[in-house]
Structure 1
Amino acid sequence: METISSGVITPENQQYPVGKITQTFERAHSEQRGVIIPYFMCGYPNIKDTVDIVLAAAEGGADIIELGMPFSDPLADGATIQHAGQVALEQGMTIQGCMDIAKQVSAKSDVTLLMMGYYNPILSYGLERFCATASANGVSGLIIPDLPVEEADPLQEIAYRHGLALIYLVPPTAPDERIVTAAKRTATGPGGFIYCVALSGVTGSRLELPAHLQDFIARIRAATQEQKLPLAVGFGLSTPAHIATVTSYAEGAVIGSALVKLIDQHKDDQPAEAVKMYIQSLRQK
C-alpha cells in the first residue's frame, strides 16, 4: 500500500470527531495493516444488543464502525441487510434512535463511527440538525449510497462545516471523471476516504472476490493519485482471506452482510461475543 493522506488535521478540525478518520488510517498504515470497517444495522436485533455488539466489535479490533440507519426502501442493500433494516424499523428505530446509539457507543469507546443511510430520512430530519447532532454524538463521517456526487453540495457544505466527512461511493461502472470529482471533493473536506464498491449491484456476502477487483482499485488509485486518499473496499467481503487480499492493495475493507448473518445466527446466544471473535479473526489473518 502507498503512503496515504486522509485529510490534514488542523486546530480547526481536530476538535471534531472527523480527525479520528485520518488518525485511524495513519495508525493502521504505520502498523502495516489494513483498516477493518464492520457495518451494523442500528436496532438489529434490538437497541440494547446493537450497543453491546458495536462495543464488542471495537474490543475485537474494529478500526472504524459503520452504523446503519434503517430505511423502508434501501436500494443498495441486499436481502440480508434489508431484513435487518425491516426488523429495526418494526422495533421503532428512528434517526434519533441511531444518534442515541452513537452517543452511547462514543461515551464508552473511542472507535471511529460513521453513519450510513439513505438521503430521504436525512432530509426529513433536517440537514443542519442531522449534521449537528451526529457531530455532537461522536460521529466522524457520513456514507449516503443514493446521493450522487453531482447532487451532494447541500449536504457536503453542512457536513464539512460540522467537521463531518462525506464518504463517496465509487462503483466499477463509474467513469474516471466522476472518480476524480469524488476525490477532489473529499480532499477539500476535513478528512475521509474513497469507498470502492467491489461489484455492481446490491450488498451481500460472496464466496469469491470479483476477478476485476484489483484492476478496479488500480484504476481508482490512478485517478486519485494527486489527492493520495485512502481507499476502502466494500460489498461482498466476508472471510479473513477476503480481507487479507483486499488490504494488500487497498487501505481498508468493509464487512456488512456477513456480520448481519452472524448476528442472526447468535441473536439468542451472545451475539456480541460472536462478533468480537469474528472481528478478531479478521485482524489475525
Structure 2
Amino acid sequence: MDDGAISNKAKNKNRFLVGLEKHYHQFINNIKQLYGHDSVYEEYVKENSQSKEVNKDAAISVRNLFFKYNKKQNHFTINDCSFDVSKGSFHVFVGENGSGKTTIIKAICGANKNYIGDIFINNKNFLIDKTARLPITYIQTKPIFPNEFNVYEYLLMMGLLVRNDINNLKEEIDFNINKFKISEIKHSNPNKLSSGQQQKVLLIKSIIEKASIYILDEPTANLDPITRIDFFRTLKELAQEKNITVFISSHSLDEIKEYVNEATFIKAGKVLFTGKVNGKNLINKYEEMFFNKQTGAA
C-alpha cells in the first residue's frame, strides 16, 4: 500500500471518529427510547412490580424470577430465583455449568427479556424505566471487538456513546492506558491481544463509561493463574477507589475468596444460598450447599 492510500485511509478513519463525536449521541438516544418494548411480559411487569418489596440498599434486586427459552419447553430454566447484590459489595455468583448463571446475568443486563418476575437496578425496574441499566457495564469471557478500530479508537468510540466531554475523555483514556501498563498495544487490534490484555481494555472501557455496577461472567476463564490473581486484585482496587458494585460469576473460589463479601449459590435454576460471606466462610458454605446437602458427602 503506497503512502497516498495510507494517508487516505487515515483521513477516512479520522472523519468517521469526528462523525461519532457529532452524531452518535442522538443515534444512541433514539435507540434508548426504543429499547425494551419487545418484552412479552412488559405488561405483567407494569402491573406487578410496584408491589414487590425491594431492598433499598441493593444495587441489584432479583425477585421471583422465572425464565424458559420458548413456550414448548416444559420446565423453567430459572425457577423462582430471588437475591440481592448490595451496593458497594464484591458479590460472587456460583453454580455448576448449566445451572442458570449466564441466563440470569443476561436477564440482568437486558439480553434476556422474556422472563416472569422483576429485576431492579438501584431500585428501578429497567423494563419500566429505561435509564435503570445505564450504571451497568458487562464484561464477558470471550469479548468481540470491532476489527475497524485499534485499542485507543475503540475506547474513544465507546466513551462517546455515553459522554460528550471529549477532551476529558481522551485524557482519561491516556491516563488509564498508562495505569494499566498497556501503552505498547494502544494502536493494536484488540481482537489480536491476549485474554489478559483484552480484560484490561474492558476494565478501562468500564471506567470511562462511569459505570457503578460491574457485571462479569467468568471473566478469568481464559487467563493463567498469575493473570487471574492480578485481575482480581485490580478489580478489588477499582471497587474500593470508585465505590463500585462487583457481581461476578466464577469457579475460582480459592483465588477469589479474599476479595468477596457476598455470595449467591445456584443449582438447576434455583437459589441455594444468598448472603454475606468471608474468605473461609465462602468455601465452607460452598461445600455445605453443593456437597453435604446435595450429595450426602461427609
TM-score range, shorter chain: 0.3 to 0.5
Structure showing greater Rg: 2
After TM superposition, the score normalised by the length of structure 2 is 0.33
After TM superposition, the score normalised by the length of structure 1 is 0.34
Higher RCO by CA contacts (8 Å cutoff, separation 6 or greater): 1
Higher strand share: 2
